[in-house]
Structure 1
Amino acid sequence: MAALWARRREEAADEALIRSLYAEHGRALLAYATRLTGDRATAEDVVQETLVRAWRRPDALLNGKGSVRGWLLTVARNIVTDRVRAKAARPQEVAESPQTPPVQTDHADHVVDSLVVFDALARLSPEHRDVLTEIYFHGRTVSEAARTLGVPPGTVKSRSYYALRALRQGFAGGRLAVREVAG
Structure 2
Amino acid sequence: MQTAIAITSAAGRGILAAQATSDEMLIESIASGEKSAMHILYARHHLRTYRFILRIVRDASIAEDLVSQVFLDVWRTAGQFEQRSQVSTWILSIARFKALTALRQRRFEDIDQDEVLQIADGNDDPEAAFDRARTSAVLRACMSKLSAAHREVIDLVYYHEKSVEEAGAIIGIPQATVKTRMFYARKALADLLRREGINSLAA
> If the length of structure 2 is used for normalisation, what is the TM-score?
0.35
Q: Which has the higher contact order (CA 8 A, sep 6+)?
A: 2
Q: Which of these two proteins has the greater Rg computed from alpha carbons?
A: 1
